[in-house]
Amino acid sequence: MLQGRTVLLGVTGGIAAYKAAAVASKLTQAGAKVHVVLTASAAKFIAPLTFQAITRHRVVVDTFDEDDASVISHIDLADRADAVVVAPATANSLAKLALGLGDDMLSTTMLALGTRVPVLVAPAMNVHMYANPVVQAHMETLRARGFTFVEPGEGFLACGYTGKGRMAEPEEIADRLGSMLAGRPRELDGVRVLVTAGATVERIDPVRFLTNDSSGKMGFAVAEAARDRGARVTVVAGRTEVSPPQGVEVVRVESAQDMYDAVLGRFGEADIVVKAAAVADYRPKQAAVRKVKKTEASLSLELERTPDILKALGERKAPEQVLVGFAAETNDLAANAMGKAASKRADFIVANDVSQAGVGFGHDTNAVSVYSADGLVEDVPLQSKRAVAERLLAIAYDAYRSRAETRRGTGRL
C-alpha cells in the first residue's frame, strides 16, 4: 500500500513531535519514501538529524534553504508527494492551514500542494485547546476541503490535564495512510451516494422510547467506503454508538418519520441509496407529553405503523437510480429477502442472519447475502464491516454504471 509512495511528513511544534519519529519509521519500513518538513518550533523538540537518520532523506526546516538551484524546494516537494501526513498538528498549524497562510516551509509547501493528493492530519494539543470552537471550526474547514483527520486519543497529557488531545499512535497513523493509498479505485467520483445508518427512536413519553440494537457501524462503513472511492456522500443517521466518518455530510434524525422526511427530501439528488438504518416498524399511537407515572395497574401501548421508507423510495425511483435495502433476519433468509426486494421495488436487499455469531447489530464484523427479486446475487462471508461495505458498493456501482451506459446508448442521457 505504501511501497514506493512519496510521503511528505510535516512535523509541527508540540511535545508529540517525538512520536513523529516513530511515524517516519513506520512509513519508511512500509516502503514509503518519506520526506520530512519540520517547523522551527518542531526543531526545538526533536532534531532534524533524527528524521534524516530514519528516512535517509534531507530534512527541511528553513523556507530559504535552497540547496538545489534547479528547483524551488517547496514546489518540488509538493510536486513529488503522493500523500501528506501532518503529525503532530498543533492548534497554530491547523489555523494556518485553514486560513491559507504561508510563513514557513511546511505551510508554503501545503499551499503549493493544494488538494491534489490525500492529506492526513493528526492533531495533538491540550484538551481545552482541542475543544475550542475556533480549533474545531478550522478542522471543519479543512475537512470540507478533503483533509482527513485521525482523531487524538484520550488520556494523561503532557500539560498535566487528562482528556482528549494525545496524538494518535504511529501505528494507527501509518495504517490509516495505507488505507487511503491502498489503490482503491475511485470510480465513484461524481456519484452521489445517500446512506442511512443507526437506529430510530420512537417516543413513549419524554423519558422513554422504543428502539433497537443498531449501532450504525454498517451504515457508517458504507459511507466511509463510498467517500474513499470518490463519492459525494450524505448520511442520514439516527441513534448510533460510533461517530460518523469524516468528509461526509451527516444529517441527524430521531424518529422514523424524521428519517422518512430527511431521506425523501434528498432522494432526488442521489444516484445510489443504501438504506442500512434499522428503522422502527411501529411507534406508539399517542406519545405522552408528560412522563407516564408508575401505578399498580398494567400498562398497554397501542402501536401504529411507521412510514415505510424503502417502499416510498421504490415507488419514486428513477430508472438510473440504484436502491439497496437491508434485512436483518433470523430465519427464511432467501425467501424474505427476495420477497422484500420485489414488494419494495428495491434493486438489492442485503440480508444477514443476526442469530449467527459475529453478524449484525453491534459487531465489527458482518456476513451478508445480497439478493435481487430474482434470486441470490452474491454471498459475502464473515469479515469486517468495512470489507463488506466495499463489496456492496461494487455491486451497486456495477448496476448503476450498466444503466448509465444503456441510457447513453439509447440517447436518454
Using DSSP bridges, classify how beta strands 162-166 and 153-156 pair: parallel, antiparallel or unpaired. antiparallel
Measured CA to CA in angstroms, residue 365 lies from 74, 209, 389 at distances of 43, 28, 11
Q: Which amino acid is at 284?
A: P
Residue 271 to residue 294: CA distance in whole angstroms = 49
* Side-chain half-sphere exposure of 230, counting CA atoms within 13 A: 13
φ, ψ dihedrals at 154, nearest 5°:
-105, 145
- Is 159 an annotated catalytic residue? yes
- Report the Cα 144 to chain-centroid distance in Å: 13
Q: Is the peptide bond before 48 cis (omega within 30 degrees of 0)?
A: no
Catalytic residue, chosen from 40, 159, 251, 359, is 159
Residue 322 to residue 84: CA distance in whole angstroms = 35
- Give me the count of residues in the chain: 413
- Report the Cα 301 to chain-centroid distance in Å: 38
- Closest by CA position to 147, among listed 97, 221, 198: 97
First to last CA, the chain: 37
The answer to whether 118 and 181 are in contact (CB under 8 A) is: yes
Residue 34 to residue 50: CA distance in whole angstroms = 13
- Residue matched to cell numbers 437491508: 326
Q: What is the CB neighbour count within 10 angstroms for residue 90?
A: 23
Residue 275 to residue 325: CA distance in whole angstroms = 5
- Report the Cα 362 to chain-centroid distance in Å: 17
**Catalytic positions, written as ranges:** 159
